[in-house]
Amino acid sequence: LEAARAVAAAYGLEHYLVELPPIHGSALTDDHLLLPLGRDLTQAHGVAPSYVPARNLLFLAHLAALQDALGPAVLWLGVHHDDHTGYPDCRPEFISAVDLAVSLGTQHGLRVQAPFVTWSKSEIIRWGLIHQVPYQLTHSCYQGLRPACGVCDTCQARLQAFAAAGAVDPIPYDPAARRPDLDTVLAGLTAGEAEGAEHRPAQEGDKQ
């Protein structure tokens, strides 16, 4: 919440806090479910333990209700390609279906768009660096730690994405967290992704 407020303030946007009922069935919400730490993300298959059932659907439903009282608008969702396997509500099919449902079910015909749904996380990082996104204000750690743990799935994915983009993640991590080097990350990328990482224009904060 602190990071969300900071990012909203940086862009001059109003930050809304919506209370949701308890949601179970996720390692992020249920104490008895274990959150994977330090696992090899290339070996992760199926729905992720950190998937919160229908979370994005709930977010969009509440946002649509708030916005429909105000007027026409596009509802933006920041899902990306890397989450297609582990998170059912991050897939293009979901975006298409919920866009249709929201447009038909609101008086102002609201629309849902997810501009990064076909982008990898590293592609988003590169785009954000070019457009001066304040990544130093963002936070991803599933454990909610500050400094970030560096070993949960999202910390690992974030660190790898910054490395693939040829940049250093500006947020602090636990000193014990191993930051991936670019050569290691490039070895796991497709040819197109690797070329983009190697030839991206240098940005402030990149490795020297």
Q: Cα 66 to the chain's mean position, in Å?
A: 23
* Same domain as 109, residue 61: yes
Q: Which residues pair with 173 in a beta bridge?
A: 148
Q: Which range marks the domain in which residue 183 is found?
A: 1-14+36-42+120-195
Asked if the structure places residue 26 within a domain, the reply is no
Query: For the chain, how many residues are written?
Result: 208
Amino acid sitting at position 154: T
* Same domain as 180, residue 132: yes
Asked if the structure places residue 173 within a domain, the reply is yes
Asked if the structure places residue 21 within a domain, the reply is no
Asked if the structure places residue 203 within a domain, the reply is no
* Same domain as 126, residue 105: no
* Same domain as 75, residue 130: no
Cα separations (Å) of 128 from 92, 95, 99, 203?
22, 22, 25, 10
Instruction: Enter the tokens of residue 147.
Output: 């400094």
Q: Which of 42, 121, 54 minimizes the C-alpha distance to 88?
A: 54
Phi/psi region, residue 205 (left: phi>0; alpha: psi -120 to 50; beta: rest), is: left
* Same domain as 150, residue 108: no
Residue 119: burial class (beta carbons within 10 Å; 0-12, 13-18, 19+): middle
Dist. CA 24–CA 193, nearest whole Å: 36
| 208 residues of the chain, pLDDT tens digit each | 999 999 999 999 999 898 888 899 999 999 999 999 999 998 888 999 999 999 999 999 999 999 999 999 999 999 999 999 899 999 999 999 999 999 999 999 999 999 999 999 999 999 999 999 999 999 999 999 999 999 999 999 999 999 999 999 999 999 887 666 545 555 555 444 445 444 443 333 333 3
Asked if the structure places residue 60 within a domain, the reply is yes
Asked if the structure places residue 204 within a domain, the reply is no
* Same domain as 186, residue 150: yes
Asked if the structure places residue 208 within a domain, the reply is no
* Same domain as 88, residue 149: no
Asked if the structure places residue 25 within a domain, the reply is no
Q: How many domains does the chain have?
A: 2
- Contact, 140 vs 28, CB < 8 A? no
